[in-house]
Structure 1
């Protein structure tokens, strides 16, 4: 960004705003000049259409003549003319969101530099409750959807559906950051990181507390299964501790850059994997009394995969592993292994020199890596816990 700023003869902030603004203008012009190709065929098909389909509880959404229609059966969706959008992610949308994430991180680095904030891991720890809050807020929308969208009617519910919810939580966190810094500089609070931490904790108390109120009040389909929560957290703790011990003992250089912050990264992705194992294979045994035998996703109360990656891994496991392995362990455990290996690989990237040369960008990369594990993991765990 600094090289671009030098070339343009301006500040990094102005160079960033010019670059991002130019990209947005180009996309808007493309949508206006070539609506069927750029908007319907790309923006709507891969990004906005899946959100609309999810928000309206449809099997899929179709775009025709500038209008969106919602279909409720697989047969109707398969026979519909493209573009057809299904709830959830696609490989194209996931790549697109990674690009948006990197651009947002660059902008946030510039903002934190202006605020003289975010240069140490204390800022990272302060944001951990917001990662949990994102998943809990998504489950709150799931519950509201099951109750007829009384709390978040369409189109407001789109703000709490993946991936838009990432931007919603990002905006809330940004407001909290600015407010915490302002209060600290006025002497109202002693430490902005601690104030930010408690804001995140408070948001979780409100969100999860509301889910508990629905469950204990017997409202609609929302129930409470503490055994699912305990199983998910126990599996997360065991796999996190095991991975930390093995890597610390045999490849200790992996943790030289992140130190104890690496435990949070491992736990975030272990939670994502563990919640999938419990939700996809063990719900039937833990909740519905099917015997302590794993069942495939979607069978006897088990959840179904929501992302192309874990769905693909489950499908590969079903077609590759012997039946005795599937009958004993289930078909979702390879996703947990993949998440742990990926987390270790990411930790290996964070060298000590990286934090010394670019502390803010390094901390924000830690934030991003942790959020994409802990957010979905929290959502899957709470969905299963509250039977949504």
Structure 2
């Protein structure tokens, strides 16, 4: 019975690319929270500062994760190894790549080999992203095609909706702390996710589907994927408000990690979905 449960809700969805269920969604959310806490404790134990520069240094790794996920979408990896490039296993893959680099970069700074370990860590993430983008470009040119207009349309939608939401929160609600670049990055990441989902399901010629439970239910209910935008509003606005209350209590380290996790769950799938649609995979 336990074996069947594990296969039904965890192994088979990963193996066959099935949509998420309520069970695995809640499980992965819980795992994410536990991982944030464990990473926080590990960073503190190793006296690694968790600040704004730390978050900035990790953003390229988030972009790298989103691009690397598309490698599996191309079908280029035909062996069983392709499952480690699927969600949620790819999060552990990126973690397994990033943590040794972070540790080595930190040692390099302590030994005076580099001025800032965060810059070295950041540029490593940028280099890996460029390599992955190079592969995807090669694949698009030789095996599929690259539709830059699709990418431009999605980025335009994300930019416009980010501007509108920022204006609403900053001037409509009077939340002056929205001038913080990290909050703006949070909004853009989730607007990119909503834009890619909306475009892919309602406007793209390839029949993409929404795999997440809540989003899929709302799309079925309303008949349009553009319902993702109000859904994001319902999550982002109270989320930002609670985050700011938490920051004012002085818990800056864990605040940065939670904010980074929120950026990641919007930006990474947004990049992945956009790149899929550009390549038609």
Shift of 1:283: 1.6
CA displacement 1:245-274 (0-9 Å, x = unmatched): 111102233736x82210010011001000
Partner residue, 2:128? 203
173, 176, 194: which is aligned to 1:273? 194
Q: Secondary structure at the match of 1:223?
A: coil
More helix by share: 2
Kept in 2, the 8 Å contact 1:283–1:384? The answer is: yes
Confirm whether residue 188 of structure 1 aligns to residue 113 of structure 2: yes
209, 213, 222: which is aligned to 1:308? 213
Kept in 2, the 8 Å contact 1:112–1:360? The answer is: no
Partner residue, 1:227? 149
When normalised by structure 1's length, the TM-score is 0.69
- The correspondence of residues 48-197 of structure 1 with structure 2, limited to 5 A, is 48-54=11-17, 87-143=18-74, 145=75, 147=76, 149-150=77-78, 153-154=79-80, 156-197=81-122
213, 234, 246: which is aligned to 2:168? 246
**Cα distance, 1:194–1:252 mapped onto 2, change above 3 Å:** farther
Shift of 1:353: 5.5
Shift of 1:309: 2.3
Q: Secondary structure at the match of 1:189?
A: coil
335, 348, 355: which is aligned to 2:228? 335
State how far apart, in whole Å, the 2-side matches of 1:206 and 1:355 are. 40
Kept in 2, the 8 Å contact 1:133–1:200? The answer is: yes
Confirm whether residue 39 of structure 1 aligns to residue 11 of structure 2: no
Q: Secondary structure at the match of 1:306?
A: coil
Partner residue, 2:180? 259
**Cα distance, 1:335–1:353 mapped onto 2, change above 3 Å:** closer
Higher relative contact order (CA 8 A, sep 6+): 2
347, 350, 355: which is aligned to 2:243? 350
The number of equivalent residue pairs is: 281
CA displacement 1:311-338 (0-9 Å, x = unmatched): 21211112xxxxxxxxxxxx11111221
**Cα distance, 1:118–1:240 mapped onto 2, change above 3 Å:** farther
CA displacement 1:362-387 (0-9 Å, x = unmatched): 11101111111111111110100111
Shift of 1:215: 1.4
**Cα distance, 1:53–1:269 mapped onto 2, change above 3 Å:** same
Gaps of 5+ in 2: none
State how far apart, in whole Å, the 1-side matches of 2:32 and 2:153 are. 32
Q: Which moved more, 1:339-348 or 1:239-248?
A: 339-348
Shift of 1:355: 5.8
Q: Secondary structure at the match of 2:210?
A: coil
255, 264, 281: which is aligned to 1:362? 255
Shift of 1:282: 1.6
State how far apart, in whole Å, the 1-side matches of 2:10 and 2:137 are. 32
CA displacement 1:288-310 (0-9 Å, x = unmatched): xxxxxxxxxxxxx3422222222
Kept in 2, the 8 Å contact 1:270–1:340? The answer is: no
Kept in 2, the 8 Å contact 1:282–1:302? The answer is: no
State how far apart, in whole Å, the 1-side matches of 2:73 and 2:248 are. 38
